Amino acid sequence: MPGLHLVGLLKRFGKTTAVNKVNLEIEDGEIMTLLGPSGCGKTTTLRCIAGFLIPDEGEIYLGDQSMTDLPPEKRGIGFVFQNYALWPHMTVFDNLSFGLRLRRVPRSKIKSRVDETLALVRLSGFAERYPRQLSGGQQQRIALARALVIQPRVLLLDEPLSNLDAQLREEMRFEIRELQKNLGITAVYVTHDQAEALVLSDRIAVMNNGIITQIGTPEQIYNQPNNRFVAGFIGLSSFVDGIVTGLDTARAYATVTTSDEVAIRVPAGSMALNQEVTLAIRPEHITLISDTSAEVPPDANLLEGEVIRIAYLGDVIDYRIQVGGWTLRVHTDTDTHLRPKDKVQLMIPAERINLISPDL
Amino acid sequence: MAVAKSDASLQDKKGERLAWAFPLALLLPATALMLVLYAWPFVSSVYRSFLAKGGELTLANYQKAFELYFRDVVFSLEVAILSTIVAAILSITLSAYVRLSSGRLVKLISLLYRLPIFIPFVVVGQMMRTFLAPHGLLNIFLAQVGVIDLNAPLQLFNMQGLVLSFVWKQAPFMTLIILGGFQMIDDAFVEAARSVGANILQVILRVLVPMNRASISVAIILAFTSTVGTFTLPFMLIGGKIPTTVTVDIAHRVTYFGDWGVANALGVLMYLMVLIMAIYYLRYSVKKGIYEA
């Protein structure tokens, strides 16, 4: 199956630019997630790929073939909607066979294709039911089956799990990923749920204000966010602004000094002296040291701080610690018992600190 | 204390005993209105259709109605069925176009199509008399573009002209109802059909129309019953020519012969024509909700 390419895709609604010159290459058999807050342009991008919207500029290629001017029914895509959009006046069988009948597939083959696809989504025996007789999760699977039964060249999914309860949603993430891999189909998945994106994507394109701010594997996006938006949107991060005041090229570390003269050791990367940088630090990468005999790795930063706010989150405790003129969020296990105004020492391994450009 | 308690429970029991009467009391005004304004005239009209001039029970009125006006009963049905079918096709097409398109033309159309709804039948009749006349606007236009010869113009003060007039008047009203239904259908249902390969016509026939059966049925029933019962338009367009509609016959019987017996018999026949539709409508509205799960 061919890959999907978006070249300079631009879509305006009135004076608002919903998608701003997006370039994206989705490889054959890959599942790519468009992740971002509502209004970031992810659904508009998906609807342009489907042909439901006509882009103002740019091209959409499937393999070598341009799809930009094709109507939706000629694109060979499968689309799964957030609200499932199963036709209520048709049985499950009719919902699935509709696309096949339009393609003039022989009657005998329609039956076997529908049966196979229902088996694929583990709903064999539901063919004669109406959508209203199915639970939300079952309707979602039928919607997926309807998109797959026509053997589309690309599968597009628009927040398909957001109407399901939390437990089912978690289960379905794995099911969708497994199905997509088994079928080897190229897929684009739109969601605002970072956990969903991290679990089921080969790669994630994080979108904000109509542009893609970072593309990478889930690990890259989480561990090496390259801008403030990504670091803040996926997982939690504390941000610290500073200036590069020292470079230890031999050991590949740099020293960043904040405006209140706190020196922090970070990986050097491609930094230059006197460059302004923003550091992004994940709460789970900071350790609270109450015991002075604790072992501290040689390259770790040790900072002094004061507890200003405590939130119990069930699995962890979320502390806000004042360090100089800024705060850091720290997650610890629930055995830690600190109170507001307690003085603490924080340990942050240098390699766990992400450097992001302050202007993005 | 104990006395007060038993007093309260006594009152509770009294309240319970009267509880059944409360909903009935609420229904009473509406029921009374229905009985006085609808049921009584209807029953009395059916009863009188079986009365001879002397007051004795008879089937003569029906016999006479069939002998004199059977052709008109068929004609009335033909006109109503034909104009409802044409208006339905037209209004479904127009509704689908407005529902699935966008732009200024659609906005203009969705404003313009409503205008005929506000024009009374009698005005439509007057308009159509000039428009459809042998040397009226339509014939002159057709002669100008070379379709007909003005010496042999289209004769339209007959069934064709009547159907055309009814379609002109009813299609906008039907569009109003049907378009409302179409607009309740989420875009995703249409897009889902297109994504699996349906073209616009298939989307209309396989998704929009079946998902909107309820409002299409209502539009058809209302248009049909109103067409069957209209007097002014056929009276102005066809008048007493043969064949004409039952409504014209009823007016004729009453005005010229004071013959309420045959007029009532014809009224009952007309009622039977719409009864089939009424039964379907009532059954449908009770069953409704099937698809709204």
**Which option is the CATH number for B56-118+159-287: 1.10.3720.10, 2.170.130.10, 2.60.40.1250, 3.40.50.880?**
1.10.3720.10
Chain B residues lying within 8 Å of A151, measured CB to CB: none
Q: Report the C-alpha gap between B79 and B141 in whole angstroms.
A: 25
* pLDDT on residue A359: 55
Q: Is the peptide bond before B243 cis (omega within 30 degrees of 0)?
A: yes
Q: What is the share, in percent, of chain B residues with pLDDT greater than 70?
A: 92
pLDDT tens sequence across A116-140: 999 999 999 999 999 999 999 999 9
Residue A348 φ/ψ, nearest 5 degrees: -125, 115
pLDDT score for B286: 66
Helix spans in chain A (H): 42-50, 92-102, 107-120, 136-149, 166-183, 194-200, 218-223, 228-233
For the segment A249-269, the average pLDDT, to the nearest whole number, is 84
In chain A, at which residue ranges do the beta strands (DSSP E only) sit?
4-13, 16-26, 31-35, 57-62, 65-66, 77-80, 154-158, 186-191, 203-208, 211-216, 238-248, 253-258, 263-267, 276-281, 287-289, 300-312, 317-323, 326-332, 343-349, 354-356
> Starting at the edge strand that comes first in sequence, how are the strands of the sheet with A287-289 ordered?
A287-289, A343-349, A300-312, A317-323, A326-332
Q: Which single residue is written with the structure tokens 């379609």?
A: B167
Which stretches of chain A sit within 8 Å of chain B by CB?
Answer: 50-52, 71-73, 75, 77-79, 81-83, 85-89, 98-99, 102-103, 130-133, 146-147, 150
* Rounded average pLDDT over A255-276: 86
Nearest to B155 by CA among B241, B36, B228: B241
Residues 6+ apart with CB under 8 A from B158: B238, B241
Please name the member of B187, B199, B213 whose beta carbon is closest to the beta carbon of A73: B199
Q: Which residue, among A75, A87, A96, A85, has the nearest Cα to A145 in the 3D structure?
A: A96
pLDDT band per the 50, 70, 90 thresholds, residue B1: very low
Q: What is the mean pLDDT of residues A288-304?
A: 77
Mean confidence (pLDDT) of chain A: 91
Asked if the Cβ–Cβ distance from B192 to A50 is below 8 Å, we say no
The burial of B126, by beta-carbon neighbours within 10 Å (0-12 exposed, 13-18 middle, 19 or more buried), is given as: middle
* pLDDT value of residue B292: 44
Contact B291 A89 (CB under 8 A): yes
Partner-chain residue, chosen from B191, B210, B213, that has the shortest CB–CB distance to A79: B191
pLDDT at residue A140 in the model: 93
| Reported ipTM | 0.85
Q: Which domains does chain A have, with CATH numbers?
A: 4-233 (3.40.50.300), 238-356 (2.40.50.140)
Confidence grade of residue B19 (pLDDT, cut at 50, 70, 90): confident
Question: Average pLDDT of A185-198?
Answer: 95
Mean pLDDT of B211-237: 92
- Please give the backbone phi and psi of residue B17, each rounded to the nearest 5 degrees, phi first: -65, -35
Contact A73 B293 (CB under 8 A): no
> Measuring CA to CA, which residue among B254, B270, B247 is closest to residue B162?
B247
Q: CA A298 → CA A144, A284, A295, A303, A336, distances in Å?
A: 52, 19, 9, 14, 25
The DSSP symbol for A104 reads T
In this predicted structure, the answer to whether residue A263 has a pLDDT above a threshold of 70 is yes
| pLDDT of B14 over the 50 cut | yes
Judged against a pLDDT cut of 50, whether residue B2 lies above it is answered with no
Q: Which residue ranges make up each domain of chain B? A: 56-118+159-287
A86: which chain B residues are within 8 Å (Cβ-Cβ)? Answer: 192
Token pair in block for residue B286: 């009770």
A49 three-state secondary structure: helix
| Probe site for chain B from A79, A110, A144 (most B CB atoms < 10 A) | A79
For the stretch B132-190, pLDDT in tens is 999 999 999 999 999 999 899 999 999 999 999 999 999 999 999 999 999 999 999 99
Single-letter amino acid code for the residue at A214: Q
Q: Name the band, by pLDDT with cuts 50, 70 and 90, for residue A39.
A: very high
pLDDT tens-digit readout, B57-105:
999 999 999 999 999 999 999 999 999 999 999 999 999 999 999 888 9
Cα A99 to Cα A70, A78, A243, B89, B239: the distances in Å are 17, 10, 60, 25, 53
Name the residue facing B293 among A50, A72, A132 (closest C-beta). Answer: A132
The model's pLDDT over A96-111, given as tens digits with 9 standing for 90+, comes to 999 999 999 999 999 9
Edge-to-edge strand ranges of the sheet holding A65-66: A16-26, A4-13, A57-62, A65-66
**8 A C-beta contact, residue A228 and residue A208:** no
A307 with A320: CB under 8 angstroms? yes
Chain A environment of B193 (Cβ under 8 Å)? 87, 98
- Looking at chain A, the whole-number percentage of residues with pLDDT higher than 70 is 97
* pLDDT class of B293 with cuts at 50, 70, 90: very low
Of B187, B199, B211, nearest to A87 by CB-CB distance is B211
Min distance B290 CA to chain A CA atoms (Å): 9
Dihedral, B47, B48, B52, B57 alpha carbons, nearest 10? 10
**How many whole angstroms separate alpha carbon B212 and alpha carbon B223?**
17
Q: Which of A73, A89, A130 sits opposite B198 (nearest CB)?
A: A73
Token pair of B175 as six digits: 């569009």
**Angle formed at CA B164 by CA B159 and CA B169, multiple of 5 degrees:** 125
Please report where in the chains the tokens 């850091």 appear, as a residue: A328
B155: phi then psi, degrees, rounded to nearest 5: -90, 115
pLDDT of residue B291: 45
| Mean pLDDT, chain B, whole residue set | 89
In this prediction, residue B283 carries a pLDDT of: 78
Per-residue pLDDT tens over the stretch B201-218: 999 999 999 999 989 998
